[in-house]
């Protein structure tokens, strides 16, 4: 297969972009009944699909969504993106995906304009406190965990994170991982560092540490230890890259790239991703 054919295949599931942003709301309104019928058709097939046990989501496109709609500030796009997460979680749990990892804030995001970072961190704290007290979280028995360099976040946000994790620690039906202040390279570096420290504390020599090192040595130190590796990685906004998301864990994951910006993601977009996953022949490196 040529590179061009591979590229076409990778984006073949994307909807065509409307050239006129002003016409999009009207077009969506006209198409709504057809979307509903298509969604029902997809849902009727869900029980026949092989379902991923762990879906990783790169929630991209909040800022573009805000700019496309002419919202007064990109923070409004982030707020709508946070609200969308509740919808997507419910859709995933409805079809039986037990583990979901979402990437909310990367290490690189700290480099954004100061007011945007500040508003984002305030939004995260607000939503984290809502998670801890949410009837949906408790009724669905969702365990919430945060992955990343949490010590880099404001202390009030760290407290909210600890409260959410403690309030849901006894649940096991569903798992929600929120990657915050997260970077894949940083996770792997941290895992190696912790492994080396532990082995050194046992009195092992450097020669023994190197001789005994293999992938199973590192896995217990990853943020997701004890959870299944992601089967499917979904990225919104049309970007076709991982950007460092779950680098170690996603070695054999399937990927699906969707043009919709994260706040505009529809249920049929998620169902299309799950259908595409079902149609893949998973070789797991073999």
pLDDT digits (tens, 9 = 90+) for 15-56: 444 444 456 666 666 667 778 898 999 999 999 999 999 999
Mean pLDDT of the chain: 90
CATH number for 74 = 3.40.1180.10
In a domain, 24, yes or no: no
Per the annotation, the verdict on 133 as an active-site residue is no
Mean pLDDT of 196-213: 96
In a domain, 246, yes or no: yes
Residue 235 pLDDT > 70: yes
In a domain, 171, yes or no: yes
- Would you state the pLDDT for residue 26? 63
In a domain, 227, yes or no: no
In a domain, 13, yes or no: no
Structural domains in the chain (count) = 1
In a domain, 33, yes or no: no
What digits encode the pLDDT tens for the residues 167-186? 999 999 999 999 999 999 99
User: For residue 246, what are the domain limits?
Assistant: 55-184+232-279
Six token digits for residue 164:
């959410």
Quick check: helix, strand or coil at residue 58? strand
- Would you state the pLDDT for residue 7? 41
Task: Give the percent of the chain with pLDDT over 70.
Answer: 89
Quick check: helix, strand or coil at residue 174? strand
Six token digits for residue 162:
């600890």
In a domain, 70, yes or no: yes
- Would you state the pLDDT for residue 174? 97
Six token digits for residue 42:
């997809």
Residue 5 pLDDT > 70: no
Catalytic residue among 87, 109, 140, 259: 109
Residue 275 pLDDT > 60: yes
Is 199:209 a contact under the CB 8 Å cutoff? yes
Mean pLDDT of 212-240: 96
CA angle 86, 54, 170 (to 5 degrees): 70
- Would you state the pLDDT for residue 34? 78
Six token digits for residue 86:
């509740």
Per the annotation, the verdict on 140 as an active-site residue is no
In a domain, 102, yes or no: yes
Catalytic residue among 60, 62, 231, 269: 60
Place of tokens 């919104």: 236
């Amino acid at each position: 297969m040529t590179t061009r054919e591979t590229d076409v295949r990778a984006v073949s599931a994307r909807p065509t972009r409307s050239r006129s942003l002003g016409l999009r709301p009207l077009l969506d309104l006209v198409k709504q009944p057809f979307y509903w019928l298509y969604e029902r058709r997809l849902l009727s097939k869900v029980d026949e699909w092989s379902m991923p046990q762990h879906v990783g989501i790169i929630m991209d496109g909040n800022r573009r969504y805000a700019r496309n709609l002419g919202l007064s500030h990109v923070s409004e796009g982030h707020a709508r993106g946070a609200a969308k997460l509740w919808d997507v979680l419910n859709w995933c749990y409805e079809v039986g995906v037990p583990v979901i990892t979402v990437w909310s804030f990367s290490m690189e995001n700290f480099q954004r304009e100061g007011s945007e970072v500040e508003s984002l961190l305030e939004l995260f704290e607000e939503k984290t406190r809502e998670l801890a007290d949410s009837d949906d979280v408790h009724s669905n028995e969702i365990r919430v965990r945060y992955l990343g360099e949490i010590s880099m976040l404001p202390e009030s946000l760290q407290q909210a994170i600890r409260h959410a994790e403690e309030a849901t620690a006894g649940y096991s039906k569903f798992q929600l991982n929120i990657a915050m202040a997260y970077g894949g390279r940083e996770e792997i570096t941290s895992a190696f560092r912790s492994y080396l420290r532990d082995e050194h504390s046992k009195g092992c020599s450097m020669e023994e540490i190197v001789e005994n090192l293999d992938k199973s040595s590192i896995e217990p130190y990853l943020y997701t230890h004890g959870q299944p590796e992601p089967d499917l990685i979904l990225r919104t906004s049309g970007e076709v890259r991982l950007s460092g998301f779950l680098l170690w864990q996603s070695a054999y994951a399937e990927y699906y790239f969707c043009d919709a910006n994260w706040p505009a993601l529809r249920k049929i977009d998620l169902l299309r991703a799950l259908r595409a996953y079902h149609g893949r022949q998973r070789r797991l490196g073999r």
